[in-house]
A = this chain, B = another copy of it.
Amino acid sequence: MKKGRHTFIPSEDIFILSTCAIAGPNEGRGRFGSYYDAVLEDPDWDCKTHEKTEIKMHKFAIEKAIEKSKKAREEVDCLIGGDLLNQLVASTFAAREFEIPCLGVYSACASFGEALAIASFLIGGQNMKNVLCCTGSHYGAVERQFRYPLELGTQPAPSSQYTVTAAGAALLSTEGEGQPRLTGCTIGKIVDYRICDANNMGAAMAPAAADTIVTHLQDTGRRENYYDYIFTGDLGKYGTETLYHLCKERGLDLSSCLNDCGALIYSEKQKDMQGGSGAGCLAAVFCSYIYKEMKEGNIKRVLLVPTGALLSKGSSLQGESIPGIAHAVSVEA
């Protein structure tokens, strides 16, 4: 059911029946280490390449989310996968093991939000019953693809982010009384403030986050304090400050509720520049910490707003700017 300009509230209950999050060693030493279902001891999990590691992580997250739901694999109507690798190979090669109808999605680091939003439409209207969403990223694979191989030892700029090695999977279902529910989504528009600095993704993505948050609140008639927390994906510290500023210009004060998963995922002791980023970032934090805290009643309402920087290595080399996108998904206990 449409609300306002771009927000949709499902007419049926859509429960988040189960989740699974798996993280790399660095992430395991971070703030949510005890919340993940599994933490790797070795960042390449005995695999020959970073890409094969990421495939293995997606598979683990999918398998475990299905197992925890107590559903049979055959009861999963659709698997929506996304990642940052060219041609989504991590999602694809993981998904091929499961014989479940598959959709591939890409909104860069906002992919988990896109997956959840699509899932809500697949289940709404009495269509599908169980839809699994899984996104992830791997530090080594992403560095090689977008920037430089780790072996080169290139130094990151202080404004850049650290792509998390993590994957998160959530099974959405028409069943699951008592579980947190997906209660609405606002699909974002691409917003481009013509930022060209690939070492400052936070600034590139913050305008899209502002646009989507403002649209969501206007459409629903809510104020920012309706939610216990608004979680962005990976704006990092500078990007978050930019978002505060942009929202303030539009009459919103997010200072009491805004948290950025990327800024939180590592502990203060870890030298992590702007914090974490990646398609695995909000996915892993939601599928571990946020979900568990909601089940225990410590958090009641969240707005997930993962953000994506829609560039490629090629687009930057061709002088293009970095468009941003953010999708908002509300989850309530």
Please list the residues of chain A having a beta carbon within 8 angstroms of any beta carbon in chain B. Answer: 1-2, 6, 8, 11, 48-49, 51-52, 77-78, 84-89, 92-93, 95-96, 99-108, 114, 117-118, 121-122, 124-128, 145, 186-192, 310-315, 318, 320, 323, 325
Contact = CB atoms under 8 A, between A and B. Distances in A.
A8 B312 contact: no
Contacts of A96: 190-192, 310, 323
A101 B314 contact: no
Contact of A87 (B11, B114, B192, B315): B315
8 nearest CB pairs, A to B: A125-B125, A101-B187, A87-B312, A96-B190, A104-B106, A92-B310, A86-B312, A121-B121
Nearest to A12: B125
A107 B4 CA distance: 31
Contacts of A314: 51, 85-86, 89, 145
A93 B310 CA distance: 8
Nearest to A108: B87
B100 A310 contact: no
- Give chain A's interface secondary structure class: mixed
Contacts of A88: 106, 310
A121 B127 contact: yes
Given A125-B124, A314-B86, A103 B192 contact: no
B106 A51 contact: no
A189 B101 contact: yes
B87 A188 contact: no
A108 B92 CA distance: 11
Given A2-B77, A86-B86, A103-B107, 10 more contacts: A1-B126, A85-B312, A85-B314, A86-B313, A92-B190, A96-B191, A99-B189, A102-B188, A106-B106, A121-B121
Given A121-B122, A127-B8, A312-B87, A323 B93 contact: yes
B189 A102 contact: yes
A93 to B, nearest CB: 7
A87 B87 CA distance: 8
B8 A102 contact: no
25 contacts: A1-B126, A1-B127, A8-B128, A49-B318, A52-B318, A87-B311, A87-B315, A92-B190, A93-B310, A96-B190, A96-B191, A96-B323, A101-B187, A101-B189, A102-B189, A102-B190, A102-B325, A103-B114, A104-B107, A105-B105, A106-B106, A118-B118, A121-B125, A121-B127, A145-B314
A162 B259 CA distance: 48
Given A87-B108, A312-B89, A315-B51, A103 B127 contact: no
